[in-house]
Structure 1
Amino acid sequence: MSFDDAYQSLTDHDDDARWAYGTGFTDPLAGVPSALPDGVDRGDLAAYCLMLGDDALILSHRLQQWVTRAPEIEDELALANIGLDLLGQARLLLTRAGEAEGAGRDEDQLAYLRDPGEFRNVRLAERADADFAELVARLLVFSTWRLALFDRLAATGDPVVAAIAAKGVKEVSYHRDYAAGWVVRLGDGTELSHARTQAAIDVVLPLSGELFVAHPVERRLAELDVAVDPAGLRAEFDDVIAQVLRVATLTAPSQPSPQQSPGRDGDHGAELTEILAEMQGLARATPGGVW
């Protein structure tokens, strides 16, 4: 197709999946029924959407901190795009949380006007990375778990959550493959890259226990076929991680017994406070501001 100018070529892209935002953006939830499923508690559905939305929002912010710090410009672009994917998921899930809650809060209010104790993300999402090896190891753990979760959520009883998950499966598949590729490249690389990647796996993998213990909200909604019991994701997760580590010539550390994630109940460390101070500063400094 020919265009008269470069701007036209950028804006005429209704069917181009590369563009997440901007002109020609198609609402991924267009035509999806928004009524809450029968018998579902509003508070439980809102809390569940906050959990999944906060996971994506906080990790998205962490990933953007690596733009200009990644080893190659292609990786800066890749991490920025992964961050945008997660931000898109967060926007949809926080909007659904606001609808379910019924208190008039929208995605912006939920993202920018909650205090750290009101966030429900797993602590794995908020931690800082010591180096690039830790970043890709953490992204591998998070995306392997989230892909297994979204794959099952795509068939659950809330049509909005199911539609968000179905869209997210394609995105998170790439996130997992990108992270796995780097873990293999570094693990099976030089003596130094192998040692640093093994150290990253030793630090990150034991933190995965929080991902597989169901919160009471998840248990109640899973009984109604609206959520997924995370315990059922463990076997698939372990199989994928084992395959990647084997090819990367890395060894899985012993993992402690999983415990309830304190993040799901709003118990976070100083790292989340740091993230929110940076992320929320402008919105809190200009209440009601529009830009």
Structure 2
Amino acid sequence: MTSARLMLGNGLAKDLAADTARRSEDFHQRAGRRPCLATVLVGDDPASVTYVRMKQNRCRQAGIESRHVALPDTTSTEELVAALTALSEDPEVDGILLQHPVPAQIDERAAFEAIAAGKDVDGVTMHSFAAMAFGLPGYDSCTPGGIMRLLDHHGVDPAGRHAVVIGRSPILGKPVAMLLLARDATVTVCHSKTQDLPAIVRTADIVVAAVGRPEFVRGDWLKPGAVVVDAGYNEGNVGDVAFDEAMSRADLVTPVPGGVGPMTISVLLDQTVRAAFEHAGLG
């Protein structure tokens, strides 16, 4: 069987970043300030520190001001909520990103809900989820939003197709299911309690793997000609799908790295600039 084609995200992410930088400069010229993304990090988890630094660097490249709020790992829910509320009320801040996961003592959902809906450029609040579910204006969860752009870029129309999402996290599995449903796919969401998962996956025209287990989805689970989106990232640059096996069976496959990953920050910055225009009433 012919090897699958790759759904690469690097080129698309680069194009989106260039467009974001252009619109950021346009905003700067018209508003007299740069779009501003505030990042909030509780504690000093090495991976989270690296992610935040990466986002700050990408902000600079796109002409977006980056404001960072670092809080100790002893921070309480109330203290974090207060910090997020202050950023929500600051007219110079356009978007807010709370780096997750947060320490165990914090109610993460309460913290997310302290982010104003108009500044939730990471798409983590209940308001954003409702907007995704109902197809209303709002901000997508960044990785799901990136997945949809990747599908569009490669000419994959979800309408009428069966999409199986493996994973039900509030920032990936559930929102990508809502975005696919809004595009007229028939969506099945699978999880740790799903029985006979391989049989369900074999019925899928589109598979989104977001379970966080290396090479969990095997090639013989896949329907020949399926579109496979691997949204997992595990130690050793390994995704949630057995890549070589998928390549011999599917039609399109996202690699790890270089597939979904590059799209996430690009969508975040794109939505930050969009929020800046909306806050300034510049359209």
Under TM normalisation by the shorter chain, which class is it?
under 0.3
Higher strand share: 2
Higher helix share: 1
TM-score, length-scaled by structure 2? 0.26
